Amino acid sequence: MKVLAGVRAAIIDLDGTMLDTVPDFHVAINAMRAELGLAPISQQLIANMVGKGSENLIRSVLALDYDAAGVEQHFEAALASYQRHYLAINGNHSALYPDVIAGLEALKAQGLRLACVTNKPISFATPLLHQKGLHGYFDVVYGGDSLARKKPDPLPLLTACEHFGLAPSAVVAIGDSSNDAQAARAAGCPVLTVPYGYNHGQAIHETDSDGIVDTLLEAARQIRLHN
């Protein structure tokens, strides 16, 4: 992976990359659906919808039961209900993926600066990072509503590069989905993907990245090998 030569920082995704948060989504979404008089849905169905921000998630969930006009009619109430339920249980059902802490420790030990860039609202992301002992590893955290546009737009990644004072070619993005890869390609960052996340129900091997790494610790090893 020659593209990793000269890497000095990493931008890491949250949901599906560091934390398995689908169980949290499952509880909050089904609580919201119950308020609307709708039947519960499965974790797997929700996993295929996660990753493009809360608004997209709630519209996708509502589209299971309503036509386009019905989705818009119920959207505001559904989003408010979902946000209320999610904040009440945020992190309670989530779990770290293997070697996340070891990977972050290794990246920091190699002198890399770290950013967390997620499409999760910042009001959800910040307490979740604190609860799981991850917040202290990151110089900066951007949520899906921190900037004018979210991934797959390159703006959040370019903003992180500017924060570090580094060219995008010196900042690797690490994520679990095509959102992360597309944003990295558009920003000019090298990108590594993990195979265990959500990726909108698609195989990660179909995503255009510079390599698939089994864990964040393996990502750290690959970066060290090339620097």
What are the tokens at 103?
Answer: 């990977």
| 176 labeled binding residue | yes
Domains of the chain: 2-20+94-225 (3.40.50.1000), 22-89 (1.10.150)
Q: Which of 13, 20, 24, 180 is catalytic?
A: 13
| 13 labeled binding residue | yes
pLDDT tens sequence across 24-82: 999 999 999 999 999 999 999 999 898 788 899 999 999 999 999 999 999 999 999 99
| 67 labeled binding residue | no
pLDDT tens sequence across 79-108: 999 999 999 999 999 999 999 999 999 999
Say whether the peptide bond before residue 152 is cis (omega within 30 degrees of 0).
Answer: yes
Rounded Cα distance, 213 and 210, in Å: 10
Is 13 among the residues known to form the active site?
yes
